């Protein structure tokens, strides 16, 4: 009888632990922002890493536009691949847990879109089509920046 109670308690603790982890995975570490956006609260080094990744996306965007202007599909492919899913592969799981699910979803979809732009360029799609794909991707960037701000912990 006593072992049944211990087993039940162990299962209950396991379920509570999973529920708490799921809550933080979805919600992340957020507070109300100062400008009607939600602030994602990160350690300073985590914030710097996310901002560095965003600068990489901006640089890739510039490379895609420049490649389209030059008619250089190789440049477009290289630039888009630099911001594809491989760029997000080494993200620290602790950092990912601190980011809210909608933020993660938007970010990963942008990385995926960059891989799709690279594939389209490899397949010889014309520049206007590639620029349309990039425009659709940039609308996600605009939506993310309109909804979220990054704040370093005090």
> Would you say residue 107 lies in a domain?
yes
Q: DSSP readout, 64-114? A: HHHHHHHT-HHHHHHHHHHTSGGGGTT--HHHHHHS-HHHHHHHHHHHHHH
What is the tens place of the pLDDT at every residue in 85-132? Answer: 998 877 788 888 889 999 999 999 999 999 999 999 999 999 999 999
Question: What does the radius of gyration of the chain's CA atoms come to, in whole angstroms?
Answer: 20
Q: What is the pLDDT of residue 100?
A: 92
> Would you say residue 17 lies in a domain?
no
Q: What is the pLDDT of residue 25?
A: 56
Work out how many domains the chain is built from and give that number: 1
* Full-model pTM: 0.82
Domain extent for 140: 29-152
> Would you say residue 117 lies in a domain?
yes
What is the tens place of the pLDDT at every residue in 29-73? Answer: 888 888 989 999 999 999 999 999 999 999 999 999 999 999 999
CATH of the domain at 91: 1.20.120
- Positive or negative, the CA dihedral 124, 127, 128, 133 is positive
- The Cβ of residue 105 has, within 10 Å, a number of other Cβ atoms equal to 13
């Amino acid at each position: 009888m006593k072992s049944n109670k211990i087993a039940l308690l162990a299962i209950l603790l396991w379920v509570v632990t999973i529920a708490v982890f799921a809550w933080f995975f979805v919600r992340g570490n957020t507070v109300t922002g100062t400008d009607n956006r939600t602030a994602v609260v990160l350690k300073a080094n985590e914030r710097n890493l996310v901002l560095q990744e965003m600068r990489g996306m901006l640089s890739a965007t510039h490379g895609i536009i420049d490649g389209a202007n030059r008619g250089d599909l190789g440049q477009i492919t290289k630039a888009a691949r630099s911001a594809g899913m491989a760029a997000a592969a080494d993200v620290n799981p602790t950092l990912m847990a601190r980011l809210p699910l909608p933020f993660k979803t938007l970010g990963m979809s942008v990385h995926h879109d960059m891989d799709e732009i690279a594939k389209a360029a490899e397949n010889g799609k014309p520049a206007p089509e590639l620029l349309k794909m990039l425009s659709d991707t940039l609308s996600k960037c605009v939506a993310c920046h309109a909804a979220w701000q990054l704040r370093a912990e005090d």
